[in-house]
Each structure stands twice: as C-alpha cells, then as structure tokens.
Amino acid sequence: SISSKKKREAKVWSIANQKGGVGKTTTTVNLATALAACKKKVLIIDLDPQGNASTGLGVEPDARQQSIYQVMIEGLPITRAVRSTDVPRMHVISSGVELSGAELELVGLAEREFKLVNAIGPLLDQFDYILIDCPPALGLLTLNALVASDAVLVPLQTEFYALEGLSHLLRTIDRVKRGLNRRLQIQGVVLTMYDRRNNLCEMVAADVRAFLGEKVFNTVIPRNVRVSEAPSHGKPVLLYDVACAGSQAYIKLAGEILRNEQVRVTEPAVA
Ligand code: ADP
Ligand code: MG
C-alpha cells in the first residue's frame, strides 16, 4: 500500500559504562520514557543479565521466554521478542537469566560480535530510537551493543572517582570504531546522581567538563529518592511521579538531545 508517512530510521544508542551502579539502567528507562512522551517511538533492549530494566518496567517473568538471549543465541526472529509497556509508544526486549551464560556461549560462535547487529535490521524502520541497556562490563555483550549502535551515551556518577575507568571505556569505543563499526560516535556523557548540597559534586562536574568538553550534556540528573523508588513499582519515574526533580531532569535531557539533533540536521556543515 502507498503511505505518505515518513519512513522511520531508528537511531541505535548503547547506554554504556563498565562501572556498575552509575545510572545506566535508570537513564535508559527514563530517557526512553521521556522520548516516548515527545511522540517518538522507542524500544529498550535490556542487554544486562541482571534484567533490571525488564524488572523496572514490570515485564512478567513468563514474558521473558522470548528474550534477547533467544534472539542472539538461538536465532529467534527479533520482532517476536518485542513487548509493549505501560508507556505509550515505548516497547522493550527483555533480558533473561540465561543471558548470564551468553557471555561464554558467544565466545564459541562465529561472528560473535555481530549477533545483535545481524538480528536488529527488521526493527530499524519500526522505531525512532533503540536504547540498549548494557551490562557493567566491557565483554562480548557490550561489544555486540557497540557494534549494533550509531552512538554511545555514557552515564557518569558525579562522585570523586567519576573519571576512573573512563579512559578504558573510551579506548574500547575507539577500538570498536576502528575495527568493527566505523559509524560509532559518542553521543554524550550525562552526569547522574548529582547532589547540589555537596560541594564535591560541583568540583567533579567541572573536572569532567574540562576533560570531555562539549561532549558533556548541560542537563545533569539530580540524586532524587523518587528515581530510586520507581523501579520497585514496576514503573519509570515519569509515570510514578512526573513532577519530581528526577523526572523533570530526564524530560530536560530528552529535550536537549532532540534540540541537538535539530541543530545537526539544519546547520550546514562547515568544511
Ligand atoms: P547501573 O545500571 O549503571 O548499574 P542503575 O541505574 O541501576 O545503575 O542505578 C544504580 C542505583 O542507583 C539504583 O538503585 C538506582 O535506583 C539508583 N539511582 C540511579 N539514578 C538515581 C538518581 N538520579 N537518584 C537517586 N537514585 C538513583
Ligand atoms: Mg543496570
């Protein structure tokens, strides 16, 4: 049939940092929700064996029979693993416990870094954004995410050791860019769990901005108890308490991201 609708072409972003507890899952779920609220069609791929994004979205355990594990290891068509969520326009592919074995199983497979990129094709014209929640390691699962992505978004916890380990991540991104996926970019670094009452936070933020420059988003995500409560209710914080500072920050971040893209599209490139 003839359709006048503009064809979608999903931007695929890895939310990655090999440190645990820095806000990857929180950022994936809530940025995705904010983008969906801005009328974008969004898919979350939960690539962490711990499955925090799946749990935080209230995905039932039996819906996890068709997970990203079955897609990457058993060849399940990816469209069959897509589930709807309580958020309009937002979908999820869940992770399952089997995924913890995938890191080792992948080692023995041909094209082990390309399982996700080879599977993801049928979804690219279905979504505007595909956000991949990565595990806290730079192993084969994260490599699969980076190979399948256009860009990486790095959450950094605003703490004294924020920059520690970052050079390792940047080297890995660079290696992937040179060897496996030339189109991979760094979308940006987002400071998370920012506490305005803590003077150290401002010093750390200044350090990070001095080191990474304009790659750091202007929007910072404050430490906010509502953000940490929401997952236990099976909801993104935007559905749990839209007025709280955490929700407002993720809405602002989505706005900053969408505005940046607008600028990139409309401003002519200067040679
Ligand atoms: P990661 O996925 O990098 O391991 P999470 O997103 O799971 O990190 O965050 C780690 C913990 O910190 C979780 O318990 C989460 O609820 C909490 N958390 C994340 N962001 C915030 C925030 N802005 N304010 C308060 N708690 C947060
Ligand atoms: Mg996580």
Q: Which domains does the chain have, with CATH numbers?
A: 11-266 (3.40.50.300)
Query: In this predicted model, what pLDDT tens digit does every residue of 145-177 receive, in sequence order?
Result: 999 999 999 999 998 888 888 999 999 999 999
Q: Tell me whether 0.95 is exceeded by the ipTM.
A: yes
Cα–Cα nearest to 201, from 156, 246, 257 = 156
| 122 within ligand 1 shell (Cβ under 6 A) | no
- Centre of ligand 1 to C-alpha 23, Å, is 4
- Centre of ligand 2 to C-alpha 245, Å, is 21
Task: Please name the residue ranges forming H helices in 48-129.
Answer: 52-56, 68-74, 99-107, 115-120
**What does the pLDDT read at residue 224?**
97
Q: Which residue, judged by its Cα, is nearest atom 22 of ligand 1?
A: 223
Cα–Cα nearest to 145, from 8, 28, 5, 15 = 15
**What does the pLDDT read at residue 161?**
85
Asked if 148 and 12 touch (Cβ cutoff 8 Å), the reply is yes
Beta-sheet strands, E only, within the chain:
11-15, 42-46, 83-84, 90-93, 129-133, 151-157, 185-192
Asked if 102 and 67 touch (Cβ cutoff 8 Å), the reply is no
Beta-sheet strands, E only, within 175-225:
185-192
- Centre of ligand 2 to C-alpha 199, Å, is 27
| 56 within ligand 1 shell (Cβ under 6 A) | no
Asked if 48 and 22 touch (Cβ cutoff 8 Å), the reply is no
CB-side exposure of 203: number of CA atoms within 13 Å?
6
pLDDT for residue 271 is more than 60:
no
| 21 within ligand 1 shell (Cβ under 6 A) | yes
Band the pLDDT of 6: cuts 50, 70, 90. low
Query: In this predicted model, what pLDDT tens digit does every residue of 176-231 receive, in sequence order?
Result: 999 999 999 999 999 999 998 888 999 999 999 999 999 999 999 999 999 999 99
Q: What is the mean pLDDT of residues 68-92?
A: 96
Of the listed ligands, the closest to the CA of 190 is: 1
Which residues hold their Cβ within 5 A of ligand 2, which is an ion?
Answer: 24-25, 48, 52
Contacts of 224 (CB under 8 A, 6+ apart): 237, 244, 245, 246, 249
Q: List b or e across 78-117, with b for residues whose CB sees 16 or more CB atoms inside 10 angstroms.
A: beebbbebebebbbbbbbbebbbebeeebeeeeeebbbbb
| Ligand 1 pocket: which of 15, 152, 225, 228 to mutate (most atoms within 8 A of CB) | 228
Q: Percentage of the chain surpassing pLDDT 90?
A: 84
pLDDT for residue 266 is more than 90:
no
